[in-house]
Amino acid sequence: MIFKKKAYYQESFTSLSLDGEAFEGIEFEECQFYKCSFVNCTFEGCKFLECKINECRFSADKVPHTRFIEVKFTTSQLIGIDWTKADAIEGLEFTDSKLNYSNFRLLKPPRIKMIRCEAKEADFTEADLTGAIFTGTDFENSRFFKTNLTGADFKGAKNYFIDARVNTLKKTKFSMPEALSLLNGLDVIIE
């Protein structure tokens, strides 16, 4: 196994391919990962604190009891991650990344950002996404139900279906023409 220590501080990891591995109780603080592959891995009780993750693959990974605090993912794939199993997710920032089939159900991830991402088939049911930034993100077939979107920013986002009757939309920002989709759940006729 490449990670022999329990804690890493300000270290860089490049071109690691550790698919199918299991990691337990490892802490990464202010570390950088570049072009690494962690497909079908398990991160049990790990900590990622203020890390930068660029051009990496985390697909079908399990993250039980793991903490992600102020982690920035750029041009990465995080497919099928069940974020509800993590102990904490705070200040996550995803830019130009794929988060398809992700599960954020019932979570309250403070300061979450998805900028120009692809979040298809993601589940945000009953999540509290107050103040979230989702600019330019594709939400095709994603679920928003009883979701708190107070102050969230959807400018430039597309393919979302958000029923205004069952979600909280206060000072939520949308842009045209996609904002017209907010009328789909209402019994109105537009000519």
Give yes or no for a contact between 26 and 7, defined as CB atoms under 8 angstroms apart. Answer: yes
Instruction: Give the pLDDT score at 115.
Output: 98
Instruction: Work out the pLDDT band at 86, boundaries 50, 70, 90.
Output: very high
Tokens standing for residue 6: 């329990």
Q: Which of 63, 98, 133 is the last residue of a domain?
A: 98
Asked if the structure places residue 76 within a domain, the reply is yes
Q: Domain range holding 151? A: 124-186
Positive/negative CA dihedral, 49, 43, 138, 154? negative
Length of the chain counted residue by residue: 191
Q: Quickly count: other Cβ atoms within 10 Å of residue 83's Cβ.
A: 22
Give yes or no for a contact between 102 and 124, defined as CB atoms under 8 angstroms apart. Answer: no
CATH number at residue 30: 2.160.20.80
Instruction: Give the pLDDT score at 3.
Output: 85
Tokens standing for residue 79: 């497919």
| Closest residue by Cα to residue 138 from 83, 168, 99, 172 | 99
Mean of all residue pLDDT scores within the chain:
93
First to last CA, the chain: 63
CA atoms of 76 and 54, how far apart (whole Å): 6
Asked if the structure places residue 60 within a domain, the reply is yes
Is 80 exceeded by the pLDDT of residue 114? yes
Instruction: Give the pLDDT score at 191.
Output: 63
| Closest residue by Cα to residue 116 from 141, 90, 99, 96 | 96
Is 90 exceeded by the pLDDT of residue 178? no
* Residues 39 and 83 reside in one and the same domain: yes
* Residues 88 and 130 reside in one and the same domain: no
Domain total of the chain: 2
pLDDT digits (tens, 9 = 90+) for 136-156: 999 999 999 999 999 999 999
pLDDT digits (tens, 9 = 90+) for 30-80: 999 999 999 999 999 999 999 999 999 999 899 999 999 999 999 999 999
CA atoms of 163 and 152, how far apart (whole Å): 15
